[in-house]
Amino acid sequence: MEENTPATNTAQPGKKSSRLAILCILIAGSLWGCLGLFNRNLSALGIAPETVVMLRNLGACVILAILFLIYDRSIFRIRLRHLPLFLAMGLVSILLFTLCYFRSQQVSSLAVAAIPEGLATVVTVVLSIGVTNMSKHHAVIRRLTAVETLGCTQVICSDKTGTLTQNKMTVVEHTGPTELLGTAMALCNDATLEDGGAVGEPTEAALVNFAAANGLNKGTLESRQPRCGEAPFDSGRKMMSTIHRTDTGFIQYTKGAPDEVLRRCTHYTENGQVLPMTEAKRTELLAANKAMADKALRVLAAAERLYESLPDRQEPEDLEHDLCFLGLAGMIDPVRPEVKAAIEECRQAGIRPIMITGDHIDTAVAIAKELGILEDGKKAVTGAQLSAMSDEEFEKEYPNIAVYARVQPEHKTRIVNAWRNAGYVTAMTGDGVNDAPSIKSADIGVGMGITGTDVTKNVADMVLADDNFATIVKAVKNGRNVYANIKRAIQFLLSGNTAG
């Protein structure tokens, strides 16, 4: 990075700074000329020339102030620590107005001459070059001004799967009867099996491949047990269920987060027998889940339920209870080899990386430690713990939290807003429809080009063509260079115009 600015809570230019500067310069020049047309009419009324110039200056200042407030209403959210800055700005404004009153002609001439009329062109060209350079590094900029804001980024809130990891799942460990587990995982699944392997969402494709590797072809299973009902996956329940017809009736398969599935199980299968679930067995299964998660594996559980006839109501609350636990499947998702170096580069540049994931907290912690996101003195929390925090508690805790696990979409928005309200320029990544609000709330919304939905891409300021965290870091580096070039251009134009 060109500038190693520490991630402290200092004033940084936001998303609107370049637009506001250009807007004020253009409006100032236009108003100066338009208000000058009234000089002759006011003079004809017997008003002294000095008063005419003073009224013109005052009118321009008032109109500019009104336009500024309309353009950026955040001026009304001044914090106490910013008060000295605004007082200083007020004193400077009073001084300039006094000079305009007593030496209006000389000051007016200097003000007009100092306006860099070429700034709008220079800024547009510099931002356009930045957009072109970023596109060569797989970062597609959807809004021109996002280039400048990228250079001011201080916090990056990133998804884990697919951004920090490769999103190439493989089942490497499982518990429970293989045939029953493989059948449940393959049928309670929307991926399809083709000649080259499973096609679909990476997690579901890994489960279909796991079943196929154990002689359980999904096509054959579906012909024997066709699907006749389902309760689709929901991020709140963290599971999905499907109902299938069998020779003796109907069977329901449920797949999802182990802790959530276990909570709904009253029995379990062991050595071909169905036994009542006990607290000792539940503790044993949760320990097995934790052992896999500590190895940075994504773990899913499967369960079943039998019916004599097709249930009339197929809502989740009607289906997902009194389940029989079948087993666990642990999948490895290797981290991207370039991400660890990118995170280290972030820290050197004063940027704080934060991991936000729907995975189990033990899985998230293991990967965060491997990548260097979770350091000494920082901690990981779950979505449930976050929900239990009041706004006042979270305001004290969020600087010390580096990993969020088992989060809901509304948690992401709360995290982003906490950093932004503290004055940090924040970037947020996402790929699902539910991520759109948090991406929209961030200073820089980052959508995924490969796995992202159209909704997410449309609200994002930048789209990653390769879904790679390292690409965000490269884009920030380019953004800092663009911001530095704009500052140099402003200094050159202002000094040249003033000297002239």
The residue among 180, 120, 113, 116 whose CA lies nearest residue 144 is 120
pLDDT of 16 reads: 47
What is the distance between the alpha carbons of residues 84 and 340, in angstroms, rounded to a whole number? Answer: 41
Of the listed ranges 277-281, 397-401, 483-487, the one predicted with least confidence:
483-487
Mean pLDDT of 30-56: 55
Asked if residues 465 and 486 have their Cβ atoms less than 8 Å apart, the reply is no
Which tops the pLDDT comparison, 96 or 270? Answer: 270
Give whichever of 195-199, 262-266, 310-314 has the largest mean pLDDT.
262-266
The pLDDT confidence band at residue 403, using thresholds 50, 70 and 90, is very high
Q: How many CB atoms lie within 10 A of CB 252?
A: 24
β-pair partners for 252? 243, 305
Mean pLDDT of 213-236: 93
Mean pLDDT of 150-161: 92
pLDDT of 24 reads: 54
Query: For 409-424, what is each residue's pLDDT tens digit?
Result: 899 999 999 999 999 9
CA distances from 497 to 110, 306, 468 (A): 9, 83, 44
Mean pLDDT of 252-256: 97
Which tops the pLDDT comparison, 61 or 250? Answer: 250
What is the distance between the alpha carbons of residues 484 and 399, in angstroms, rounded to a whole number? Answer: 28
pLDDT of 195 reads: 85
Please enumerate in sequence order all residues whose Cβ is within 8 A of that of 402, keeping only pairs 6 or more positions apart, or say none: 353, 354, 355, 368, 373, 374, 375, 378, 379, 380
Q: Where are the alpha helices (DSSP H) in 13-82?
A: 17-36, 39-44, 49-71
Mean pLDDT of 377-400: 93
pLDDT of 2 reads: 42
Mean pLDDT of 294-310: 95
* CA atoms in the 13 A half-sphere facing the CB of 468: 18
pLDDT for residue 98 is more than 70: no
What is the distance between the alpha carbons of residues 383 and 10, in angstroms, rounded to a whole number? Answer: 29
- Over the chain, what is the mean pLDDT? 83
Please enumerate in sequence order all residues whose Cβ is within 8 A of that of 336, keeping only pairs 6 or more positions apart, or say none: 164, 165, 166, 468, 469, 470
Mean pLDDT of 143-152: 84
Q: Is 159 a catalytic residue?
A: yes
pLDDT for residue 285 is more than 80: yes
pLDDT for residue 95 is more than 70: no
pLDDT of 149 reads: 84
Asked if residues 439 and 419 have their Cβ atoms less than 8 Å apart, the reply is no
The pLDDT confidence band at residue 84, using thresholds 50, 70 and 90, is low
Q: Which of 159, 359, 435, 461 is catalytic?
A: 159
H/E segment holding residue 47: none
Mean pLDDT of 269-298: 94
The pLDDT confidence band at residue 76, using thresholds 50, 70 and 90, is very low
pLDDT of 434 reads: 85
pLDDT for residue 97 is more than 50: yes
Of the listed ranges 91-95, 203-207, 373-377, the one predicted with least confidence:
91-95
Asked if residues 428 and 442 have their Cβ atoms less than 8 Å apart, the reply is yes
Of the listed ranges 9-13, 62-66, 484-488, the one predicted with least confidence:
9-13
Please enumerate in sequence order all residues whose Cβ is within 8 A of that of 275, keeping only pairs 6 or more positions apart, or say none: 267, 268, 269, 281
Query: For 316-347, what is each residue's pLDDT tens digit?
Result: 999 999 999 999 999 999 999 999 999 999 99
The residue among 469, 217, 212, 478 whose CA lies nearest residue 337 is 469
Query: For 178-199, what is each residue's pLDDT tens digit?
Result: 999 999 999 999 999 988 789 9
pLDDT of 269 reads: 95
Asked if residues 486 and 124 have their Cβ atoms less than 8 Å apart, the reply is no
pLDDT of 484 reads: 87
pLDDT for residue 365 is more than 90: yes
pLDDT for residue 490 is more than 70: yes
